[in-house]
Structure 1
Amino acid sequence: MSGAVRIREHADDDWAQIWPFFDEIVADGETYAYPAGLTGERARRLWVTPPPDATFVAVDGDVVLGTARSGPNRPGRGAHVATASFMVAPAARGRGVGRALGEHVLGWARDQGFLAMQFNAVVETNTAAVALWQSLGMRVVGTVPQAFDHPEHGYVGLHVMHRFL
């Protein structure tokens, strides 16, 4: 690996590299409320969704290091606010992949004409993610208490985070 992280739109053949770390992250049960036992195809349908949504990958050469998806937070009268989700392969953590994806998605959403970005469910014990999003201008606007069943900490809160674009 060269060490350079590049962000690009997701291509169909990227899923073969995304699925193993997607499955691992969901199985860990620390950051996503997706149901256990997802098949690769069902997970793909949840993550890679049609326009106006977009899915991105962070790559080093041909190696997928992480992925993000973004689009309208709500349909209709809520469609001017974007939302996004992110996953970084465990082997790629600490390389700035999450930051690169976050910066890219915020820029993409701004370019698409969204007025703000809202994250609906950032697990409060995921302190690295909370710190990253805060460093990118997001702020916690509320916390839903005991909304996430964490495998180690039990019921913990889910932060709603927001920033104007």
Structure 2
Amino acid sequence: MPEPGLGTRPHAPSPSPSLRIRLAVDTDWPAIWPILSEVVTTGETMPYDPAMTSESARDMWLERPPGQTVVALLDGEIAGTAKMSANRPGAGAHVSTASFMVASGTRGRGVGTALCRYALTWARDKGFASMQFNAVVETNTAAVALYQREGFQIVGTVPRSFHHPSHGRVGLHVMYQEFTRDS
């Protein structure tokens, strides 16, 4: 069986054979921006400013090395994107983090699962000890379930810390997966 967090899990959508993940390049931004814009302006799953501009979003989303930003191509079209990096600098740099956004028209087709698995492999390959998600909106049940299928645990919830457009103030989960027990 593959490493924890990378194997086939029950109820996980099977990624399409036409799904491919690659490094994002500058010319991908015109296809990435509509995905980010839609997710952020909907205001249901990501704690970003809905008024962010394409320029500010680009500066925030496109990671510089040693971090990485990727796109998921489904049938040759960009269907999702992920960014990954160290969660914190200095003494916290052994913990990785990642964020994912999937185009609404391609949800449920394994894009998010494939991006999450890619990020976990990237983090392990880079020698990180774990991965932590700092702010998973508790009402984003699809993401919470995906992350739990891939081996993450909810280690805490900050109550009423995200203003959801229809549910009001809801909690943000901190989710965590440890790769090693080395110090």
**TM-score, length of structure 1 as denominator length:** 0.96
CA shift, 1:41, in A, is 1.1
TM superposition outliers: structure 1 runs of 4+ over 6 Å: none
Q: Given the superposition, is the C-alpha separation of residues 3 and 111 from structure 1 closer, same or farther in structure 2, using an over 3 Å criterion?
A: closer
- Pairing of 1:65-144 with structure 2 (within 5 A): 65-144=79-158
What is aligned with 1:149? 163
Equivalent residue for 2:32? Answer: 18
Report percent identity of matched pairs.
57
Query: Partner amino acid for 1:43?
Result: A
1:46 to 2:64 alignment = no
Name 1:62's counterpart in structure 2: 76
SS in 1 for 2:64: coil
Greater relative contact order, per chain length (Cα 8 Å cut-off, separation 6+): 2
User: Distance between the aligned counterparts of 2:107 and 2:91, measured in 1?
Assistant: 37
Structure 2: gaps spanning 5 or more residues = 1-15
Instruction: Supply the RMSD in Å over aligned alpha carbons.
Output: 1.1
Number of residue pairs the alignment of both structures matches? 164
Unaligned runs of 5+ in 1: none
Cα distance per residue 1:23-53 (max 9 Å; x no partner): 0110000011111211111101010021121
